[in-house]
Structure 1
Amino acid sequence: MFYKVAEHIFEVNACDEILSQMSNYAPFAVDSGAESSCKNSVFSLDVQNEVAPEYTEDIRQDEEGQVIICGRTSDGLPAFDFWLFGKPMGVLVCEKDFKHAVLLLGKEKIPAESSNFAVNNALMVLYALATAGFETALFHAAGIQYKGLGYLFLGKSGTGKSTHARLWLKYNEGSELFNDDNPVVRLFEKDGRKFAVAYGSPWSGKTPCYKNVEMELGGFVLLSQAPFNKISPLRGVSAYAAIMPSISGMRWNKNLADGLHQTENGLASCVPVWFLECLPDEDAARLCCQTVVREIQ
Structure 2
Amino acid sequence: MEFRMKIADVLMDVSSQYEMLAEYCRDYIVEDSAEEVSEHLVLTMEDIEKERAIAEKSGESVPTLGSQQNIPQYSPQYLETLAALRKIADFMPEKDCFLMHGAVIAWKNQGYLFTAPSGTGKSTHLALWKKYLGDQAEVINGDKPFLKVTEDEVWVYGTPWAGKEQWQVDKKVALKGICFLGRGEKNSIQKIDSFSALPFLMRQVYFTDASQSAGKTMELLDQMLKKVPLYKMKCDISKEAFECSFGAMTF
**Global fold match (TM > 0.5):** yes
1:234 matched to 2:192: yes
Structure having the higher helix fraction is 2
1:20 deviates by 5.0
CA–CA distance in structure 2, aligned partners of residues 60 and 253 of structure 1? 23
Match of 1:9? 11
- Alignment partner for residue 201 of structure 2, among 243, 248, 255? 243
Whether the 8 Å CA contact 1:200–1:211 is kept in 2: the answer is yes
1:176 deviates by 1.4
Match of 2:67? none
TM-score (norm 1): 0.72
1:207 matched to 2:165: yes
Match of 1:197? 155
Render the CA deviation track for 1:80-109: whole Å, top value 9, x for unaligned: xxxx9xxxxxxxxxxxxxxxxxxxxxxxxx
The one-letter code sitting in structure 2 at the alignment partner of 1:287 is C
- Alignment partner for residue 179 of structure 1, among 135, 141, 160? 141
Indicate how the Cα distance of structure 1 residues 21 and 14 shifts in structure 2: closer, same or farther if over 3 A, else same: closer
Indicate how the Cα distance of structure 1 residues 59 and 24 shifts in structure 2: closer, same or farther if over 3 A, else same: closer
Whether the 8 Å CA contact 2:104–2:139 is kept in 1: the answer is yes
1:293 matched to 2:250: yes
Indicate how the Cα distance of structure 1 residues 260 and 156 shifts in structure 2: closer, same or farther if over 3 A, else same: same
1:23 deviates by 2.0
CA–CA distance in structure 2, aligned partners of residues 186 and 285 of structure 1? 27
Whether the 8 Å CA contact 1:21–1:112 is kept in 2: the answer is no
CA–CA distance in structure 2, aligned partners of residues 255 and 199 of structure 1? 23
CA–CA distance in structure 1, aligned partners of residues 220 and 126 of structure 2? 25
1:151 matched to 2:112: yes
CA–CA distance in structure 2, aligned partners of residues 284 and 170 of structure 1? 12
CA–CA distance in structure 1, aligned partners of residues 57 and 239 of structure 2? 34
Match of 1:30? 30
CA–CA distance in structure 2, aligned partners of residues 50 and 284 of structure 1? 42
- Secondary structure of 1:30's partner? coil
> What is the CA RMSD across the aligned residues, in angstroms?
2.9
Whether the 8 Å CA contact 1:199–1:213 is kept in 2: the answer is yes
Indicate how the Cα distance of structure 1 residues 111 and 14 shifts in structure 2: closer, same or farther if over 3 A, else same: farther
Whether the 8 Å CA contact 1:3–1:10 is kept in 2: the answer is yes
TM-score (norm 2): 0.85
- Secondary structure of 2:98's partner? strand
Structure having the higher strand fraction is 1
Whether the 8 Å CA contact 2:101–2:145 is kept in 1: the answer is yes
1:177 deviates by 1.3
1:14 deviates by 2.9
RCO higher in 1 or 2 (8 Å CA, sep ≥ 6)? 2
Whether the 8 Å CA contact 2:62–2:73 is kept in 1: the answer is no
CA–CA distance in structure 1, aligned partners of residues 59 and 72 of structure 2? 22
CA–CA distance in structure 2, aligned partners of residues 134 and 61 of structure 1? 31
- Secondary structure of 1:65's partner? coil
CA–CA distance in structure 1, aligned partners of residues 62 and 80 of structure 2? 14
Q: Spell out the pairing of 1:1-297 with structure 2 (5 A cutoff).
A: 1-14=3-16, 18-19=18-19, 22-31=22-31, 33-38=32-37, 40-41=38-39, 43-48=40-45, 62=58, 64-66=60-62, 114-173=75-134, 174-189=136-151, 194-250=152-208, 253-294=210-251
Indicate how the Cα distance of structure 1 residues 49 and 142 shifts in structure 2: closer, same or farther if over 3 A, else same: closer
Any unmatched runs of 5+ in structure 1?
Answer: 68-83, 85-109
- Secondary structure of 2:200's partner? helix
| Identical-residue share of aligned pairs (%) | 23
Bigger radius of gyration? 1
| Equivalences, count | 240
Any unmatched runs of 5+ in structure 2?
Answer: 65-70
